[in-house]
Amino acid sequence: HEGHRDFFIHSWDSQGRKMTVPVMVLHRGPHHNHHQNSAADPQVPILHFPKSSEGLKRRKRDWVIPPLSVSENHRGPYPHKIAQIRSDKDKTTKIHYSITGPGADRDPVDLFTMDRTNGNLFVTQELDREKQDKYPVSTLFAHAVAEGGSEGSEQPMEIIVNVIDQNDNKPVFVEASYIAQVPEASKKGFQVVQVVATDADEENTDNSEIRYSIESQTPEKPDKYMFSINPVTGAIKVNDERLDRENYPQYELTVQVADNKGDGLTGSTKVTIKVTDSNDNAPVFTEATYKATVEENKVDAIVVRMSVTDGDEPHTPAWNAKFKIIDGDPGNLFNVTTGVNKQEGILKTVKGLDFEKVSKHTLLVAVENDVDFAVPLTTSTATVIVTVQDVNEAPIFDPKEKHVSKLENLAVGSEVVTYTAYDPDTARKQKVMFS
């Protein structure tokens, strides 16, 4: 009911020497007034100079006084009382109190002051824990000097003032915005980008423990949860495998970070995700069947040009077409190449066709891309019917040359040799004549 309780902590060393330090436990009620500066304020700790046993000379820093804690950004009013320094000798001797050290008589000067007569310790302005170069911790020495001489004076007492962190810094992203790329049709769990934020508040506390979340996605198609984010690491991953560059080439995400494990101060950033092309569209012939006529015996003759369409990004390996004959050419009479525009197959003869042997060829041509399909797709095919046009070919001697030996004085009208020839145009039924 008095708002505090006093204790004395005793310690003995191996020789049996005893030392004592006072401890005050304060009770802070729900209506505690932080601005209360009365000397009798029970909420302000009273630090007593340490006592030692009889005959033991006190030495500076024999005891570490429990640190004082002062919240940063305290609204005052100032000067704000944070503790009272007491010497038990002030009951018999008039004591003058003072402090020295950083924040007192050294930079930052007069940040802390002490009432000379009663030992009240004050802070004169708001503290900022994040100014690490000034006072993350201020170490002071309190002095109690007896009036009129050194007799009865205390050895200096070390005071440490810890600045308690307040959640006064919102988390900030390292980058003002992020731009990333992801291949379309990427698998779920594919990492796109990682966002990073920092918080200037004290490490390893709720004030600096941040969590990430995706606040919005534009467009929200084909689903509004196309991406997910790891709340701890900030890694953004694919959440839906239906990324389609042809329909939704870009997404805009608003990513939020919040301290206090996601329930505190917030910051945000924009993440632009560009969907890059993958080979998720197969090239398709514009016609299912092509018909052509070519004269027999012609080599490197263009038989037909076959055009295709492809929904992937133009002039990329996923769009460029390549062709091959997969059936109907056991004699390797034809070949097919890709045209300059990469969307046309050109079928040519490699050898002269023979009308008399085969008057019609039926080929099956397939088309693919320069790179493999990223997803299972059906390969497009086209049928090419090639009609061989008959040409009137000259008769052929068999054999072409004969060596004949006859005796001299062979009579006129005697048979020297008989030549044989045939007409390859069997369908024409022409008569072969010799001369």
Same domain assignment for residues 104 and 233: no
* Whether pLDDT at 137 is above 70: no
* Whether pLDDT at 101 is above 60: yes
* Whether pLDDT at 38 is above 50: no
Q: Which of 166-180, 272-286, 333-347, 420-434 has the lowest mean pLDDT?
A: 420-434
pLDDT tens-place string over residues 197-235:
999 888 888 889 999 999 999 999 999 999 999 999 999
Same domain assignment for residues 261 and 188: yes
Same domain assignment for residues 152 and 245: no
Domain annotation covers residue 413: no
3-state secondary structure of 351: coil
Task: Give me the chain's average pLDDT, please.
Answer: 84
Rounded Cα distance between 425 and 73, Å, is: 108
Pairing, β 344-349 against β 321-327: unpaired
Q: How far is CA 31 from CA 28, 36, 104, in A?
A: 8, 12, 32
Q: What's the confidence (pLDDT) of residue 140? A: 65
DSSP string across 148-176:
TSSTTPPPPEEEEEEEE--S----EESSS
Burial class for 138, CB neighbours closer than 10 Å (0-12, 13-18, 19+): buried
Same domain assignment for residues 219 and 312: no
Tally of domains in the chain: 3
Q: Which of 26-35, 88-97, 303-312, 403-412 has the lowest mean pLDDT?
A: 26-35
Same domain assignment for residues 150 and 129: yes
User: Which pLDDT band holds residue 53 (cuts at 50, 70, 90)?
Assistant: very low
* Whether pLDDT at 305 is above 90: yes
Q: What's the confidence (pLDDT) of residue 428? A: 75
| Residue where a domain terminates, one of 164, 195, 226 | 164
Stretch 310-335: mean pLDDT: 94
36-45: long-range pairs with CB below 8 Å, 24+: 36/81, 37/77, 37/79, 37/80, 37/81, 39/84, 39/118, 39/120, 41/81, 42/2, 42/3, 42/4, 43/3, 43/4, 44/81, 44/82, 44/83, 44/84, 45/83, 45/84
133 Cβ neighbours under 8 A, 6+ residues apart: none
Stretch 327-338: mean pLDDT: 96
pLDDT tens-place string over residues 173-187:
999 999 999 998 899
Stretch 26-35: mean pLDDT: 52
Looking at the DSSP assignment, which residues form a beta bridge with residue 381?
366
Q: What's the confidence (pLDDT) of residue 132? A: 39
User: Which pLDDT band holds residue 361 (cuts at 50, 70, 90)?
Assistant: very high
Q: What's the confidence (pLDDT) of residue 151? A: 56
Domain annotation covers residue 403: no
Q: Give, as one character, the DSSP assignment of residue 419.
A: -
Same domain assignment for residues 26 and 144: yes
Q: What's the confidence (pLDDT) of residue 149? A: 63
% of the chain beyond a pLDDT of 70: 87
The amino acid occupying position 424 is P
Residue bearing the bigger pLDDT, 129 or 62 = 129
Same domain assignment for residues 271 and 321: no
pLDDT tens-place string over residues 378-424:
999 999 999 998 888 888 888 889 999 999 999 999 999 998 888 88
Domain annotation covers residue 358: yes
Residue bearing the bigger pLDDT, 288 or 133 = 288
Q: Where are the beta strands (DSSP E) in 105-258?
A: 112-114, 120-123, 137-146, 157-164, 172-173, 177-183, 191-194, 197-198, 211-218, 227-229, 235-238, 250-258
Stretch 157-182: mean pLDDT: 87
| Residue where a domain terminates, one of 164, 198, 222 | 164
Same domain assignment for residues 255 and 293: no
Looking at the DSSP assignment, which residues form a beta bridge with residue 413?
none
Residue bearing the bigger pLDDT, 282 or 26 = 282
Domain annotation covers residue 431: no
Residue bearing the bigger pLDDT, 206 or 426 = 206
The edge-to-edge listing of strands for the beta sheet with 380-389 is 289-295, 380-389, 360-369, 321-327
User: Which pLDDT band holds residue 377 (cuts at 50, 70, 90)?
Assistant: very high
User: Which pLDDT band holds residue 369 (cuts at 50, 70, 90)?
Assistant: very high
The token pair at 85 is: 């320094």
Domain annotation covers residue 420: no
CA-based R_g, the chain, Å: 49
Sign for the pseudo-dihedral over CA of 55, 59, 63, 66 = positive
Nearest residue to 48 (alpha-carbon basis) of 85, 83, 19, 81: 85
Same domain assignment for residues 144 and 239: no
* Whether pLDDT at 348 is above 90: yes
Longest Cα–Cα distance in the chain: 173
Q: Which domain holds residue 364?
A: 284-389
The edge-to-edge listing of strands for the beta sheet with 68-71 is 68-71, 157-164, 137-146, 95-100
* Whether pLDDT at 238 is above 80: yes
Same domain assignment for residues 92 and 226: no
Residue bearing the bigger pLDDT, 430 or 354 = 354
User: Which pLDDT band holds residue 54 (cuts at 50, 70, 90)?
Assistant: very low
Whether the full predicted model's pTM is greater than 0.85, yes or no, is: no
Rounded Cα distance between 366 and 336, Å, is: 10
Looking at the DSSP assignment, which residues form a beta bridge with residue 193?
236
| Residue where a domain terminates, one of 223, 258, 276 | 276
Domain annotation covers residue 414: no
* Whether pLDDT at 96 is above 90: no
* Whether pLDDT at 432 is above 70: yes
Same domain assignment for residues 143 and 176: no
18 Cβ neighbours under 8 A, 6+ residues apart: 10, 11, 12, 52, 53
Helix, strand, coil percentages for the chain (3-state, nearest 5): 0, 40, 60
Looking at the DSSP assignment, which residues form a beta bridge with residue 6?
24
Nearest residue to 241 (alpha-carbon basis) of 184, 304, 178: 184
The token pair at 264 is: 């505190």
Report the helix count and the strand count for the chain, using DSSP H and E.
1, 30
Nearest residue to 252 (alpha-carbon basis) of 269, 266, 267: 269
130 Cβ neighbours under 8 A, 6+ residues apart: 72, 168, 169, 200, 201
User: Which pLDDT band holds residue 1 (cuts at 50, 70, 90)?
Assistant: low
pLDDT tens-place string over residues 66-79:
677 777 777 778 89
Nearest residue to 143 (alpha-carbon basis) of 102, 163, 114: 114
Stretch 288-295: mean pLDDT: 95
Same domain assignment for residues 154 and 34: yes
CATH of the domain at 324: 2.60.40.60
